[in-house]
Chains A and B, each alone.
Chain A
Amino acid sequence: MENLKEIILNCVHNNHRDQKILYEQFYGYCLKTVFRYIYHYDKAVDIVNDGFIKVFRNLHKFEFKQDVNVQMLLMGWMRMIMVNTAIDHLRQNNFMPEIGEISEHVWECHDKSQSSDQHLLYKELIKEIKKLPPGYRAVFNMYVVDGFTHKEIAEQLGISIGTSKSNLSKARVILQNIIKKNDQVRICNI
């Protein structure tokens, strides 16, 4: 904990060594966050790097008290920056739907969730999320996973609150249908 505080202070002083340590420590977490929003892996990597530049530029604005979990605060703060950076990218592209398949090399070989009771692997769930239209995907990720309110989503995406709720509802319907369909296939296979 104390080590992380020192790293943060040194990063504020533009200490490149500590900045690299911080970057490598939280790169995976940030990439996982961004990859839920951005369809292509390479673009997600670039956005993560842009997001880290923003993080280091604005790290002096990161406020924390001495008796709290600095790491959790920092992860939450960085996740907000990464989500905003990803949304900015989507807005620049006018939420255009992406084409192409996601190559398998982006997924980690060892799937921890294989031993769970879930019928669908987490990887498959994320894949289904990524198949959603960009607008639905952004609203679903922001509301369900990242905890934004509809008002915040509307401000961030430049849409109305009603549109945000509508997109969320439609995204849920799509995902429920996929889950039901997969369940039926699994039952048939059994």
Chain B
Amino acid sequence: MQHLNDDMDEMFRKAADDYPLNTGNPDWNKVAEGLSQEKNPEPPVKRSYRKYTWLLLLLPFAFICNRIYDPGLFKQITNSTNSTNSTHGTNGTNSNEVEMNKNKSKDQPNLKDREPGSEGQEPGLDDKELRLDEKEPGSEKNNGKAGQDPNVGVEGKPLPSETSRSPVELSAPLNKGRDQSSKARKIPTGQPTLSNSRYRSSGNGISQKNKTSDINRKTSNPKSSALPGTTNTGAAINSSLNESPAPDFYAIYPYTKTGLALFDMTPEVSTIPVPEMTKLSPGPVSKHPVKNKNFYVGFVGGIDMTTVSFQQTSKIGSQFGGLAGYSFAKKWSVELGFFVDKKYYYSDAKHFEKGKLPYRANATVLSVDGSCRMFEIPVSFKYDITNTYKSNFFVTGGLSSYIMKNEDYDILYLYNSSGSKALHPYSYKNSSTNLFSEIRITGGYSLKLPKSFSVRIEPYFNIPVSGVGHGDLNLMSGGINAGIFRRIF
């Protein structure tokens, strides 16, 4: 059977070579016409990725949205509003107090306009302090002197304001106030508000029922009660926070440290709404514990400019791909990427390896205009320069590997015999794989978004270590990438 097949194959080969066919009328004109059309070929339809560049316009929008919607600030405002409402709703005295204060403020001139040292007034006291003093029942009777401020010493000397007083100075008038506890004014207990005046008048007229619990509360949460200037109104809070730094709790209440707490000082603190003050504490409070180790992935895209030994660049390329990173320390991460690059470049003949080109008699290569599509695999280490709650600046450094997929070269030849120039196209596929052939240096800015997302703007620069591609060209690349990332865990 095999012999039969071999014989038959041989017979058919001979028949294919020698069979009679009328080949008498070759039509050269058709071929010439086709060749003339080939001289002016239509530009090849290349897939353009420019239609996706509008996505970059969304980046400023995301940035603006993130700036407007700050979850931490939003919750802080909500809590302060709720606390104001709740205190007003639960304590009728306080609401009445506000009403009274409004009426009083209409009747009385602003204390700040008054001259310091005027009768019954202390320089530096605010409106709230004055109103509290005036509304307290029997205050005139208990103080002995009508209109005398409780912060005024026994000798009648005015006390300095809290902002100007040192902790040592703060303790002295308070002790003096305790000496006059029998003469102290009565302040309604359970009042949820706290102001600078409260601290100054805290030693007066408080029952001893809640003494023990108040001490425990103060010692267990000193910072919460250490903040002065907390009132029901947000304006007063902000003004006090802005005007004076928060004094240390132990500086104001040194007796809690030494264990020499006096009975008439501590109960006033029971009126401090501890959770509310915690919410109103200044400075950013991180809700999420900072995790040093996390894994994140993202999509990155951008533009690419490539040059060979700082020669001219032809067109702008592109770079798209994914990036995954793992943070193994507080500021250090390792990142692995996979990019699809489209690069355009130009080179003189001296930088192009001509040994791999097909032989051409009496022809010299003048220049090379090339483009390539390749896979780039960068491995780099990332260092966060400034890593804040919202954003960070970073730099990365590493090595990139190139896997060439397609290379298209338009090589300009000079034919020495005729002196004419001719442009010859060459195409190569999967020509080379260059491991760690470029040093990749990037730096950028990352902005954190809600739900573990973040956006990144990252200029990059690739420095060649070895030649890549069919012509062993030293491709130096630069560009800028933008991407969106998400922390996985």
Could you list which residues of chain A lie within 8 angstroms of chain B, going by C-beta atoms?
9, 12-14, 16, 19-20, 23-24, 27-28, 31-32, 35-36, 45-46, 49-50, 52-53, 56-57, 60-61, 63, 105-113, 118, 122-123, 125-126, 129, 140-141, 144-145, 172, 175-176, 179
Which chain B residues in 358-406 approach chain A with CB under 8 Å? 358-361
Contact code string B1-37 (vs A, CB < 8 Å = 1, else 0): 0001100110111111111111100111011101100
Q: Known interface pairs A13-B422, A23-B31. Does A31 touch B12 (Cβ–Cβ under 8 Å)?
A: no
Shortest Cβ distance from residue A87 to the other chain B in the assembled complex, whole angstroms:
16
Q: For residue A32, which residues in chain B have a CB less than 8 angstroms away from its CB?
A: 16-17, 19, 21, 23
Q: Which of B27, B35, B39 contacts A19 (CB 8 A)?
A: B35
Q: Known interface pairs A36-B16, A176-B8. Does A56 touch B23 (Cβ–Cβ under 8 Å)?
A: no
CA distance A95 to B32 in the complex (A): 29
Q: Which of B11, B20, B361, B418 contacts A123 (CB 8 A)?
A: B20
Chain A residue nearest to B415 (CB atoms) is A13
Q: Is the CB of A23 within 8 A of B28?
A: yes
Q: Is the CB of A31 within 8 A of B23?
A: yes
Q: Is the CB of B38 within 8 A of A24?
A: no
Q: Which of A19, A106, A179 contacts B22 (CB 8 A)?
A: A106
Chain A residue nearest to B361 (CB atoms) is A9
- Greatest chain A CB density within 10 A among B11, B21, B420 is at B21
Contact code string B30-61 (vs A, CB < 8 Å = 1, else 0): 11101100110000000000000000000000
Q: Is the CB of A50 within 8 A of B34?
A: yes
Q: For residue B415, which residues in chain A have a CB less than 8 angstroms away from its CB?
A: 13
Chain B residue nearest to A21 (CB atoms) is B28
Shortest Cβ distance from residue B364 to the other chain A in the assembled complex, whole angstroms:
15
- Greatest chain A CB density within 10 A among B5, B8, B20 is at B20
Q: Is the CB of A28 within 8 A of B23?
A: yes
Shortest Cβ distance from residue A63 to the other chain B in the assembled complex, whole angstroms:
5
Q: Known interface pairs A13-B422, A57-B38, A113-B18. Does A176 touch B13 (Cβ–Cβ under 8 Å)?
A: no
Q: Which of A14, A107, A144 contacts B21 (CB 8 A)?
A: A107
* B424 at interface by CB-CB < 8 Å: yes
Q: Known interface pairs A13-B415, A23-B26. Does A122 touch B18 (Cβ–Cβ under 8 Å)?
A: yes
Q: Is the CB of B12 within 8 A of A49?
A: no
Q: Is the CB of B32 within 8 A of A16?
A: yes
Could you list which residues of chain B lie within 8 angstroms of chain A, going by C-beta atoms?
4-5, 8-9, 11-23, 26-28, 30-32, 34-35, 38-39, 358-361, 415, 418, 420, 422, 424
Q: Is the CB of A63 within 8 A of B358?
A: yes
Q: List 13 A-B contacts (CB under 8 A).
A: A12-B422, A13-B415, A20-B32, A23-B31, A28-B23, A31-B21, A46-B30, A49-B31, A52-B31, A60-B358, A108-B21, A113-B20, A126-B15
* 19 extra interface residue pairs, beta carbon distance < 8 Å, beyond A122-B14, A144-B13: A14-B39, A16-B32, A23-B31, A28-B26, A32-B21, A49-B34, A50-B34, A60-B358, A107-B22, A112-B18, A113-B15, A122-B15, A122-B18, A123-B19, A125-B12, A141-B16, A145-B12, A172-B8, A176-B4
Q: Is the CB of A53 within 8 A of B38?
A: yes
Chain A residue nearest to B424 (CB atoms) is A60
CA distance A106 to B11 in the complex (A): 22
Shortest Cβ distance from residue B404 to the other chain A in the assembled complex, whole angstroms:
19
Shortest Cβ distance from residue B148 to the other chain A in the assembled complex, whole angstroms:
105
CA distance A49 to B26 in the complex (A): 9
Q: For residue A14, which residues in chain B have a CB less than 8 angstroms away from its CB?
A: 35, 39
> 7 closest A-B pairs (Cβ-Cβ)?
A108-B20, A28-B23, A122-B15, A125-B15, A27-B26, A122-B19, A53-B34
CA distance A28 to B358 in the complex (A): 29
Chain B residue nearest to A36 (CB atoms) is B16
Q: Is the CB of A129 within 8 A of B418?
A: no
CA distance A115 to B341 in the complex (A): 65
Shortest Cβ distance from residue B398 to the other chain A in the assembled complex, whole angstroms:
39
Shortest Cβ distance from residue A113 to the other chain B in the assembled complex, whole angstroms:
6
Q: For residue A141, which residues in chain B have a CB less than 8 angstroms away from its CB?
A: 16
CA distance A141 to B12 in the complex (A): 9
Q: Is the CB of A145 within 8 A of B31?
A: no
CA distance A27 to B358 in the complex (A): 26
Q: Is the CB of B30 within 8 A of A49?
A: yes
Chain A residue nearest to B27 (CB atoms) is A49
Q: Is the CB of A24 within 8 A of B358?
A: no
- Greatest chain B CB density within 10 A among A24, A122, A179 is at A122
Shortest Cβ distance from residue B172 to the other chain A in the assembled complex, whole angstroms:
98
CA distance A110 to B424 in the complex (A): 44
Q: Is the CB of A126 within 8 A of B16?
A: yes
CA distance A13 to B19 in the complex (A): 35
CA distance A112 to B415 in the complex (A): 46
CA distance A35 to B28 in the complex (A): 18
Q: Known interface pairs A125-B15, A145-B12. Does A108 touch B35 (Cβ–Cβ under 8 Å)?
A: no
Q: Is the CB of A175 within 8 A of B8?
A: yes
Q: For residue B360, which residues in chain A have a CB less than 8 angstroms away from its CB?
A: 12, 60
CA distance A35 to B26 in the complex (A): 14
CA distance A140 to B35 in the complex (A): 32
Q: For residue B13, which residues in chain A have a CB less than 8 angstroms away from its CB?
A: 144-145
Q: For residue A111, which residues in chain B have a CB less than 8 angstroms away from its CB?
A: 20
Q: For residue B359, which residues in chain A have a CB less than 8 angstroms away from its CB?
A: 63
Q: Known interface pairs A19-B35, A31-B21. Does A13 touch B14 (Cβ–Cβ under 8 Å)?
A: no
Q: Is the CB of B18 within 8 A of A24?
A: no
Shortest Cβ distance from residue A73 to the other chain B in the assembled complex, whole angstroms:
13
Q: Is the CB of B27 within 8 A of A126?
A: no
- Greatest chain B CB density within 10 A among A35, A49, A109 is at A49
Shortest Cβ distance from residue B122 to the other chain A in the assembled complex, whole angstroms:
98
Q: For residue B17, which residues in chain A have a CB less than 8 angstroms away from its CB?
A: 32
Shortest Cβ distance from residue B111 to the other chain A in the assembled complex, whole angstroms:
95
Shortest Cβ distance from residue B413 to the other chain A in the assembled complex, whole angstroms:
9
Q: Is the CB of B21 within 8 A of A13?
A: no
Q: Is the CB of A106 within 8 A of B422?
A: no
CA distance A7 to B32 in the complex (A): 16
CA distance A156 to B335 in the complex (A): 42
Q: For residue A145, which residues in chain B have a CB less than 8 angstroms away from its CB?
A: 12-13, 16
- Greatest chain A CB density within 10 A among B23, B30, B358, B360 is at B23
Q: Is the CB of A144 within 8 A of B38?
A: no
Q: Is the CB of A53 within 8 A of B35?
A: yes
